[in-house]
Chain A
Amino acid sequence: MSTASGLPDAVGSRRHGGSRVDVPSLALAVLLLVMGVVLAVDASGIEAPRGGGSVGPAAFPWAVAGVLLVLGVVLGAVSLRGRPDQPADPADAGVQELWPEAARRSADAPDDEPVAEPVPVGEERPPLLRVRPAVRVAVFAAGLIAHALLVNTAGYVVAALVLFVAVALAFGAPRLVRVVLVGLVLTLVIFYAFTVGLGLALPDLGGR
């Protein structure tokens, strides 16, 4: 149904279709191999408890490391071979696999006369940040990092507000002032609900 509704392609190589190298899968395969090696090295350093049976704390990690390495190799091989055209939405993948006809039909069939006209969610105004998706991800990540750096120094409300505004901008918020106000209300409510209501400590203004 994603094709019918005109959703953009999902991330990564799927965009290209055909059978090029599947880069995300290849990266994941490398990660699996690294994890397998790290786990094996770690398992070899685990001391078996004295006088215990043959199954100590290292047996299961060894087995998991083996599975990681095997899956890493297989996934790597599969990703190098590339993938045939995949549905843009992973959600559709399941549909296509199990019931290809359903996916095809919903994608091909032109919409019937819409009686109830769909309305866009949110406002029609253009977003403040008009940048590439990669930059949006960077803004999002910056908000997360800033939050972690600020929470113990500037206090919870400031840190959470910075995060809220950064994420909202990354997701295309059109009005800065409104976002700041909504974020301030939310973070203040959370702060007082936690500290007064639940009696859990959150860092005060200016840190702990």
Chain B
Amino acid sequence: MDGFADLIGGFGAAVSPENLLWALIGVTLGTAVGVLPGIGPALTVALLLPLTFKLEATSSLIMFAGIYYGGMYGGSTTSILLNTPGESASIISALEGNKMARSGRGAAALATAAIGSFVAGTIATIGLSFVAPFMVDLALSFGPPEYFALMVVAFTTVAAVLGSSVLRGLVGLVIGVTIGLIGIDVQSGQARLTLGVPQLLDGVDVVIVVVGLFAVGEAITVLASGERRSTVTPAAGSRWLSRSDFRRSWRPWLRGTALGFPIGALPAGGAEIPTFLSYSAEKRLSKHPEEFGHGAIEGVAGPEAANNAAAAGVLVPLLALGLPTSATAAVILAGFQNYGIQPGPLLFSSNNALVWTLIASLYIGNVMLLVLNLPLVGIWVRLLQIPPYYLYAGIAVFATLGTYAIGGSTVDLMVLYAVGALGFLLRAADVPVAPAVVGLILGPLAEEQLRRSLAISQGDVSVLWSTPLCIALLVVAVAAIVLPPLARIAASNKATRSRDRVG
């Protein structure tokens, strides 16, 4: 088994003191930003992207992946103890978790979240180790038309999955794609959409877009929405799971993993959907359905496992196909690009050692995260006590610093503010910003594949649906856009009918 030997080799490299240190920095930072409301892993990785010019590729990618995993762990702490949910993938855990905390079972909720995240993260990382090489083998036979179709699938599913409606998801996506067009076209040397501003010739840096949308836009949204008094519930109770809590948790962990990993690994992505599915599955299967809504531990264990498994799953299309399906994955892809590395099937042959060191470090990072989030959870709880005004003042300082550090010009700052205002408008219009980041990164790649396809066919557009696989993928892409609205209409009809029956 070739992959297994590669993985062992990866572990050999990952346990070097230097790589262990970067993994530790990554998971610690990731947990911190996961805990702090207002900052997420996508923003953090974006702010640290300039480090790619100083650090070796393996080191910084290990750190970025650690931040990604850590954010998933940290988010649950916030959901459980704070009355405002942290990361979007942790919203469901807040339903039961916050209720548990208020009834004095906060520690048990934190413990089942941390252990569940560890179990799911580890199983899903094993899944990643085995599924990714398989997907690589599959992808090696893909030509540009297949890739283009795959990217269209990613576009539409991301738009459908990451927003409140397909229309708004698409709007976010296309805005990102448009921003991605700005600058010089690499293939022809033509300037596009620069509006005569010379500083825009290099395009708008990913850092500026992500920081603008996530930091500045978010801050304005919070300000404009008025006073928001957050409360923290102290984590009462024993720090470890009681025997009965454990008995009620382990099945949800495994079921959550089983839901999360495949859904994350599909080029549809998103860690949110599996948490919804896991929650409703646990509620249906529970022996104590009456506890749901009042602090049922299964409602924390399942979704928390699901979001971590999905996070690992998202790395499968990212590494094997070069397809980012979440905002953080898109920013990590930008990190790869800074090193001139393009994730995709060739990554596993051209940068074999790097990939397997990265994957091995994910196993190690999971163990570190278990320690950080189980015995040391008290530190993170204290982080929640930071008043929001210090938090946002700090975010503003780092956001502008990260932007200014790119080019040292105030034009970049102005672009940042403009993107921030755009981010505010998007949020006000209920348009998700994550698809915009995916569109920004994936747009140029899709264009490249499109032009390559058409160059091969000498301009014949039918090359795009020339193989059964292309057709199948495009059908999936269309279905992702068409089905959710239809399903909603069907559901609302059903709801109206049942209400009529009651009334």
User: Once the chains bind, are A173 and B389 in contact (CB under 8 Å)?
Assistant: yes
Q: Which A49-86 residues sit within 8 Å CB-CB of chain B?
A: 49, 52-57, 59-61, 64, 67-68, 71, 74-75, 78-79, 86
Q: With A60-B451, A91-B88, A167-B393 as known contacts, state yes or no: A120 contacts B229, CB within 8 Å.
A: yes
- Nearest-CB distance from A18 to chain B (Å)? 16
At the interface, yes or no: B240 with Cβ under 8 Å from chain A?
A: no
Q: Which B90-142 residues sit within 8 Å CB-CB of chain A?
A: 91-92, 94-95, 98-99, 101-104, 106
Contact check: which of B276, B404, B450 meets A55 at CB < 8 Å?
B450
Q: With A24-B428, A99-B279 as known contacts, state yes or no: A170 contacts B223, CB within 8 Å.
A: yes
- Nearest-CB distance from B488 to chain A (Å)? 7
Q: How far is the CA of A165 from the CA of B234 in the complex (A)?
A: 30
B interface, by DSSP: helix, strand, loop or mixed? helix
At the interface, yes or no: B349 with Cβ under 8 Å from chain A?
A: no
At the interface, yes or no: B462 with Cβ under 8 Å from chain A?
A: no
User: Once the chains bind, are A179 and B167 in contact (CB under 8 Å)?
Assistant: no
User: Once the chains bind, are B170 and A116 in contact (CB under 8 Å)?
Assistant: no
User: Once the chains bind, are A160 and B279 in contact (CB under 8 Å)?
Assistant: no
User: Once the chains bind, are B293 and A106 in contact (CB under 8 Å)?
Assistant: yes
Q: How large is the interface on B (under 10, 10 to 19, 20 to 34, 35 or more residues)?
A: 35 or more
Q: With A25-B429, A53-B455, A118-B233 as known contacts, state yes or no: A190 contacts B397, CB within 8 Å.
A: yes
A96's closest neighbor in chain B, by CB? B164
**Count of A residues near B, CB < 8 Å?**
107
At the interface, yes or no: B216 with Cβ under 8 Å from chain A?
A: yes
User: Once the chains bind, are B187 and A75 in contact (CB under 8 Å)?
Assistant: no
Contact check: which of B83, B226, B276 meets A133 at CB < 8 Å?
B226
- Nearest-CB distance from B404 to chain A (Å)? 6
At the interface, yes or no: B198 with Cβ under 8 Å from chain A?
A: no
At the interface, yes or no: B15 with Cβ under 8 Å from chain A?
A: no
At the interface, yes or no: A21 with Cβ under 8 Å from chain B?
A: no
Q: How far is the CA of A207 from the CA of B432 in the complex (A)?
A: 39
With a cutoff of 8 Å between Cβ atoms, the chain A residues found around residue B174 in the complex are 32, 64, 67-68, 71
At the interface, yes or no: B244 with Cβ under 8 Å from chain A?
A: no
Q: With A1-B98, A118-B231, A140-B219 as known contacts, state yes or no: A28 contacts B431, CB within 8 Å.
A: yes
User: Once the chains bind, are B221 and A42 in contact (CB under 8 Å)?
Assistant: no
At the interface, yes or no: A205 with Cβ under 8 Å from chain B?
A: no
User: Once the chains bind, are A71 and B447 in contact (CB under 8 Å)?
Assistant: no
User: Once the chains bind, are A137 and B102 in contact (CB under 8 Å)?
Assistant: no
Q: How far is the CA of A136 from the CA of B413 in the complex (A)?
A: 20
Q: Which A91-140 residues sit within 8 Å CB-CB of chain B?
A: 91-95, 97-100, 102, 105-106, 109, 111-123, 127, 133-134, 136-137, 140
User: Once the chains bind, are A61 and B276 in contact (CB under 8 Å)?
Assistant: no
At the interface, yes or no: B2 with Cβ under 8 Å from chain A?
A: no
A14's closest neighbor in chain B, by CB? B430
Q: Which A179-208 residues sit within 8 Å CB-CB of chain B?
A: 179, 182-183, 186-187, 190, 194, 198, 200-202
Contact check: which of A61, A105, A149 meets B181 at CB < 8 Å?
A61
At the interface, yes or no: B342 with Cβ under 8 Å from chain A?
A: no
- Nearest-CB distance from B8 to chain A (Å)? 35
- Nearest-CB distance from A44 to chain B (Å)? 12
Contact check: which of A105, A117, A120, A171 meets B393 at CB < 8 Å?
A171
At the interface, yes or no: B236 with Cβ under 8 Å from chain A?
A: yes
With a cutoff of 8 Å between Cβ atoms, the chain B residues found around residue A172 in the complex are 227, 388-389
Q: With A95-B276, A99-B280 as known contacts, state yes or no: A8 contacts B389, CB within 8 Å.
A: no
Q: How far is the CA of A117 from the CA of B192 in the complex (A)?
A: 57
With a cutoff of 8 Å between Cβ atoms, the chain B residues found around residue A170 in the complex are 223, 389, 392
User: Once the chains bind, are B193 and A151 in contact (CB under 8 Å)?
Assistant: no
Q: How far is the CA of A75 from the CA of B172 in the complex (A)?
A: 12
At the interface, yes or no: B400 with Cβ under 8 Å from chain A?
A: yes
- Nearest-CB distance from A99 to chain B (Å)? 5
With a cutoff of 8 Å between Cβ atoms, the chain A residues found around residue B88 in the complex are 91, 94
With a cutoff of 8 Å between Cβ atoms, the chain A residues found around residue B458 in the complex are 53-54
A100's closest neighbor in chain B, by CB? B495
User: Once the chains bind, are B103 and A64 in contact (CB under 8 Å)?
Assistant: no
Q: With A105-B292, A143-B396 as known contacts, state yes or no: A116 contacts B101, CB within 8 Å.
A: yes
Q: How far is the CA of A57 from the CA of B192 in the complex (A)?
A: 8
With a cutoff of 8 Å between Cβ atoms, the chain B residues found around residue A111 in the complex are 99, 102
User: Once the chains bind, are A8 and B225 in contact (CB under 8 Å)?
Assistant: yes
Q: Which A28-52 residues sit within 8 Å CB-CB of chain B?
A: 28, 31-32, 35, 38-39, 42-43, 46-47, 49, 52
Q: Which B208-235 residues sit within 8 Å CB-CB of chain A?
A: 216, 219-235
Q: With A28-B425, A106-B293, A144-B417 as known contacts, state yes or no: A171 contacts B392, CB within 8 Å.
A: yes
- Nearest-CB distance from A67 to chain B (Å)? 5
At the interface, yes or no: A163 with Cβ under 8 Å from chain B?
A: yes
User: Once the chains bind, are A112 and B388 in contact (CB under 8 Å)?
Assistant: no
User: Once the chains bind, are B401 and A160 in contact (CB under 8 Å)?
Assistant: yes
- Nearest-CB distance from A142 to chain B (Å)? 11
At the interface, yes or no: A177 with Cβ under 8 Å from chain B?
A: no
User: Once the chains bind, are B171 and A32 in contact (CB under 8 Å)?
Assistant: yes
Contact check: which of A9, A59, A64, A201 meets B178 at CB < 8 Å?
A64
At the interface, yes or no: B267 with Cβ under 8 Å from chain A?
A: no
With a cutoff of 8 Å between Cβ atoms, the chain B residues found around residue A46 in the complex are 185, 190, 192
At the interface, yes or no: B272 with Cβ under 8 Å from chain A?
A: yes
User: Once the chains bind, are A116 and B413 in contact (CB under 8 Å)?
Assistant: no
- Nearest-CB distance from A71 to chain B (Å)? 5
Q: Which B286-302 residues sit within 8 Å CB-CB of chain A?
A: 292-295
Q: With A55-B454, A112-B294, A163-B397 as known contacts, state yes or no: A151 contacts B181, CB within 8 Å.
A: no
Q: How far is the CA of A84 from the CA of B195 in the complex (A)?
A: 39
Q: With A53-B459, A75-B171 as known contacts, state yes or no: A187 contacts B227, CB within 8 Å.
A: no
Name 18 A/B residue pairs within 8 A (Cβ), A-sorted. Answer: A8-B228, A10-B225, A22-B429, A25-B429, A49-B188, A53-B459, A59-B454, A75-B171, A100-B495, A112-B295, A116-B233, A118-B83, A119-B231, A120-B231, A133-B225, A167-B219, A168-B389, A171-B388
Q: Which 10 A-B pairs have the closest CB atoms?
A: A122-B387, A115-B104, A54-B459, A24-B428, A118-B231, A171-B389, A93-B164, A173-B389, A168-B393, A57-B185
User: B: which residues have CB within 8 A of A?
Assistant: 54, 82-85, 88, 91-92, 94-95, 98-99, 101-104, 106, 164, 167-168, 170-171, 174-175, 177-178, 181, 185, 187-188, 190, 192-193, 195, 216, 219-236, 272-273, 276, 279-280, 283, 292-295, 384-394, 396-397, 400-401, 404-405, 408, 410, 413-414, 417, 420, 422, 425-432, 443, 447, 450-451, 454-455, 458-459, 488, 495
